[in-house]
Amino acid sequence: MSIKLSKMEIIALRQLCQNNMPAGKLAEKLTAKPSFISRVLKSLESKGLVLLEKQGTSRIASLSPASHAQAFRKLSDSRPNSKIENWICGYAMDILAIASEGAETSLLLEETGCSPTTLYKSLRRLISAGAISRKKGKIEVTNNIVKEFGSSYADNLQLLAQKNVRGFNTSIRIRKHVVLRTDAKEVPEHFTQTGLSALANAGLEAALTSYSDFYFNLDGQKRNVSIEEAFIHALLLTTLQQHQDMPVLGIFFAKNRKRLNLAALKSMAKKYLVETAFEEIRGKAEFYEKMKGFE
């Protein structure tokens, strides 16, 4: 499942905002091949935006009651004469998820994974539509209706990605990055082990627990996680859970800090918005190290 929406997916959604209809009729209305529209609807269904119900020999497509689908309806209704498919297609949904609270263009380039030319084209279209603006050197989503849709869409993709993880789950999303703590025994293939369990498996001194931490991206593509990122993921989750693992992480950092890349840790802490928590751990480790010299 991809976070991106194609032009045809957006056009089909706009039609379904007005009326439910059989897939065949939707294909006629959009002058497209039924097989192509079938693929479009399956993609929208996988993203929780559309419901498909079989009635006799037909499949009836309707807009989902889910919050992101209804947020799309609100956006569509607010721009009845605008071709919104021209500016929220392609990398636009990535940009909306990343820049919800503001993001520098360097971060957008890194996290969208597209070329500078492609990114700037998408940014220009979104700026022209009044969806985003530049503020103090950052790109920020400034239209409230667009922001509501972008955030709701990302939240629902997160929930859909982890819906088959059977167990006690706690998760947090930072832009397109999601870190999940679970006691489930099975997770999707594109989830990557991270946090304390990944640190222990890498041969570093870390206390194993009954749960496991996993990372996944809303792009649905598996990616490797560095030791430094795994540590920051553990820190991110413990800030979510009232700092209950801070002593464990403090001991781990004190024991392993010479094997860790401090510059990478600082960069990751900034990326995941846990700079203060990281500096707290780092400061305590340095204090205890100095105190040992007086023993």
Measured CA to CA, the distance from residue 106 to residue 254 in angstroms comes to 32
Confidence of residue 116 (pLDDT cuts 50, 70, 90): very high
DSSP the chain: --S-B-HHHHHHHHHHHH--EEHHHHHHHTT--HHHHHHHHHHHHHTTSEEEEEETTEEEEEE--SHHHHHHHHHHHH-TTS-GGGTSSBTHHHHHHHSTT-B-HHHHHHHH---HHHHHHHHHHHHHTTSEEEETTEEEE--HHHHHHHHHHHHHHHHHHTTT--S-EEEEEETTEEEEEE--S---TT-EEEHHHHHHHTTS-----SSEEEEEETT-------HHHHHHHHHHHHHHTTTTTHHHHHHHHHHHGGGS-HHHHHHHHHHTT-HHHHHHHHHHHHHHHHHHTT-
Point out which residues pair with 50 in neighbouring strands. Answer: 63
> Quick one: average pLDDT of 135-148?
94
Q: Of residues 133 and 221, which shows the higher confidence score?
A: 133
Please, are residues 146 and 77 in contact by the beta-carbon 8 Å criterion? no
Instruction: Give the model confidence (pLDDT) of 222-278 as tens digits.
Output: 999 999 999 999 999 888 765 567 777 888 888 888 888 999 999 999 999 999 999
For residue 27, give both structure tokens: 């294909």
Measured CA to CA, the distance from residue 44 to residue 47 in angstroms comes to 5
Give per-residue burial for 272-282: e unless 16+ CB within 10 Å, then b. Answer: bebeebbebbb
Mean pLDDT taken over the chain: 90
Q: Does residue 1 carry a pLDDT above 80?
A: no
Q: Which fold has domain 7-67?
A: Arc Repressor Mutant, subunit A (1.10.10)
Please, are residues 91 and 118 in contact by the beta-carbon 8 Å criterion? yes
CATH number for the domain running over 83-154:
1.10.10.10
Please, are residues 63 and 95 in contact by the beta-carbon 8 Å criterion? no
| Direct distance between the N- and C-terminal alpha carbons of the chain, in angstroms, rounded to an integer | 57
**Percent of the residues in the chain that have a pLDDT greater than 90, as a whole number:** 71
What is the sign of the dihedral through the CA atoms of 157, 159, 163 and 166?
A: positive
> Quick one: average pLDDT of 163-176?
91
Residue-level length of the chain: 295
Residues of the chain with CATH 1.10.10.10: 7-67, 83-154
Q: Tell me the C-alpha to C-alpha distance, in Å, between residue 137 and each of 10, 102, 104, 140, 144.
A: 30, 9, 7, 10, 20
Contacts of residue 221, Cβ cutoff 8 Å, sequence gap at least 6: 190
> Quick one: average pLDDT of 57-75?
95
Q: Does residue 206 carry a pLDDT above 70?
A: no
So what's the pLDDT on residue 255? 82
Q: Does residue 166 carry a pLDDT above 80?
A: yes
Measured CA to CA, the distance from residue 93 to residue 77 in angstroms comes to 19
Lowest-pLDDT range, 143-152, 175-184, 197-206? 197-206
Q: Of residues 169 and 174, which shows the higher confidence score?
A: 174
